[in-house]
Amino acid sequence: MNILIRDVPDEVRDALADVARLRGQSMQVYLRGLLESQALSIRNAEILERARAVGGGVVDDDQEESVGARVMREIRYGDEVPPHWTTP
């Protein structure tokens, strides 16, 4: 997918180019990393909000995983438990 952003002020473009250059990255690689980081941050915020809505990270004595962990697992994997996750 391509994204085009118009009317970026020169000083903003120059600042981004400077950071990319200091990191040894192209502008494209640097900006893609920023977008990926932002998308992950948004997803994490949604996971935390969902966990809060259903009771946070509280674990009862009879539960094997916290509510937050269950919500994260369901968001990431659906109802299936990944093979590398084992229950104690």
- CA distances 29 to 6, 32, 49, 50, Å, are 18, 5, 30, 32
- What does the pLDDT read at residue 24? 96
Map tokens 């990944």 to a residue: 82
pTM of the model: 0.53
**Amino acid letter, residue 18:** D
Radius of gyration of the chain (CA): 20
- Pick from 50, 53, 55, 39: which is nearest to 73 by CA? 50
Per-residue pLDDT of the chain (88 residues; tens, 9 = 90+): 888 999 999 999 999 999 999 999 999 999 999 998 888 877 777 777 776 676 655 555 555 666 666 666 677 766 655 555 544 4
DSSP string of 3-42, one letter each residue: -------HHHHHHHHHHHHHTT--HHHHHHHHHHHHHHHH
Tokens matching residue 34:
């920023």
- What does the pLDDT read at residue 78? 66
